[in-house]
Structure 1
Amino acid sequence: MNEKILHLLGIARRAGRLSLGNDAAIESLRKGSTRLVLLAADLSPRTAGGVRQAAEEEGTAVASCGATMDEISMALGKRTGVVAVNDAGFAKKLLELSRAQAAGTE
């Protein structure tokens, strides 16, 4: 399942629909352009808490992508634990995949 999420993130990155990193994601949230925030499995609890709070204030969904920062780095070309998805279509599909992964189905 991680492969599907990472592949779709790569496509979204090439399409210019992602904000990568904690600061960029929070800025995107504040502008109102973020539809979904994905967090790496090994992201620090402090960073995750700050991003979750910012997303909650803006009414944006937050999900774990199940991949580590190293795996995200390999897929996107930048090491990050926070990925803001700024496209409704990509966000919908990525949220479906992350929920299916959390439920243990494919």
Structure 2
Amino acid sequence: MNSNQWMSLLGLANRARKIISGEELSVKEIRSGKAKLILLSADASANTTKKITDKCNSYNVPCKVVQDRYQLGQAIGKDARVVVALLDEGFAKKLLTLLD
């Protein structure tokens, strides 16, 4: 997996305002059906990981684990981020292909 590719795509999605970051907000978007893809950092707490993966499973939202919170944050020009939700089908599909 080329981390630069998915990170720059995520940055693009961020500039297009098609993402939301943070655990609570992401869960809200999963519930509302707006989240098309969840990116979870591999170093998220066990609690957060379980909560997010359970939600994704209940609502059939794909969830991908990425290297760490710093990479996730860096991709969207922020500090460390543990959970990022993509709200756009196009970006989500493309990211899924890059992260497989």
Say yes or no: TM over 0.5.
yes
Q: Distance in 1 between matches of 2:73 and 2:36?
A: 21
Gaps of 5+ in 1: 100-106
2:89 is equivalent to residue 88 of structure 1:
yes
> What is the distance in 1 between the residues matched to 2:53 and 2:74?
24
In the alignment, what sits opposite 1:39? 40
Q: Structure 2 counterpart of 1:45, which letter?
A: A
Q: 2:51 & 2:65 partners in 1: Cα distance?
A: 15
For the residue of structure 2 that corresponds to 1:39, the secondary structure is strand
Runs of 4+, deviation exceeding 4 Å: none
Count the aligned residue pairs: 98
- Alpha-carbon separation, structure 1, partners of 2:16 and 2:31: 21
Q: TM-score, normalised by structure 2?
A: 0.91
When normalised by structure 1's length, the TM-score is: 0.86
Letter in 2 for 1:36: L
The answer to whether 1:76 aligns with 2:76 is yes
In structure 1, what is the Cα distance between the partners aligned to 2:41 and 2:4?
A: 14
Work out the CA distance in 1 between the residues paired with 2:31 and 2:87.
Answer: 12
Task: Specify the alignment match of 2:3 in structure 1.
Answer: 2
Distance 1:12 1:35 in 2: 12
- CA RMSD of the aligned region, Å? 1.1
